[in-house]
Amino acid sequence: MRLSGRGTSMVLTFDDGPDPRYTPSILRTLREYDVRAVFFVCGEMAVEHKDLLREMADGGHVVGNHTWTHPLLTRLPRSRIRSEMERTCEVIADAYGEAPLWFRAPYGAWNRAVFQLGAELGMEPFAWTVDSFDWATPGTPTIVRRVEGNAAPGVIVLSHDAGGDRSQSVEALREYLPYLRDSGYHFTVPRRRST
């Protein structure tokens, strides 16, 4: 993966959506600050909210594959892993306009089969370097401190736009995004490496 920018680039990522309760607010905030992000969507959510995937495409955001049902892949047979990935690829291609280039394993649980099947489907693995821990709903100030305190060139921030009450995630983004921009950070989305 290559990041554009001159040593001040970061990547914002959001997992588990799209969720009509929280994703639109996140998209509005990103649009307000002219920032692009990566959304790792679950197929069972995406199939019900294809309009949000189209909005992501229109906004210049990248949509990645986060499986159909968000299972622990390392406990599944290869056939089920493939099905989880393939079904989600199809929904993304249909709604977003192109097949996903990136895959993130739920819970960050990877094994050889997950890597191999992702590659067979044309996707590269995509992890994170800073977990906002928003999934634990620790409070907006805690999420903001974690993101701002770990900001650095090349950081990939993990946040969530679904999978529970994500109002703290929405509010935290509204607080840390202008702070980080004012601190000189640029937000970018990944491009596939040239081969």
> What's the one-letter identity of residue 83?
S
Instruction: Assess if residue 88 is contained within a domain.
Output: yes
Structural domains counted in the chain: 1
Give residue 3's pLDDT.
Answer: 54
Instruction: Assess if residue 55 is contained within a domain.
Output: yes
Give residue 89's pLDDT.
Answer: 98
The CATH code of the domain that includes 182 is 3.20.20.370
pLDDT digits (tens, 9 = 90+) for 124-150: 999 999 999 999 999 999 999 999 999
Look up the pTM and report it. Answer: 0.95
pLDDT digits (tens, 9 = 90+) for 30-54: 999 999 999 999 999 999 999 999 9
Instruction: Assess if residue 2 is contained within a domain.
Output: no
Give the separation between CA 118 and CA 128, rounded to whole angstroms: 17
Confidence band of 191 (pLDDT split at 50, 70, 90): confident
The catalytic residues are: 15, 160
Instruction: Assess if residue 3 is contained within a domain.
Output: no
Boundaries of domain holding 41: 9-187
> What's the one-letter identity of residue 63?
V
Instruction: Assess if residue 19 is contained within a domain.
Output: yes
| Helix, strand, coil percent content, the chain, rounded in steps of 5 | 45, 15, 40
Instruction: Assess if residue 163 is contained within a domain.
Output: yes
Q: Let me know if 26 is exposed, middle or buried by CB neighbors in 10 A (0-12, 13-18, 19+).
A: buried
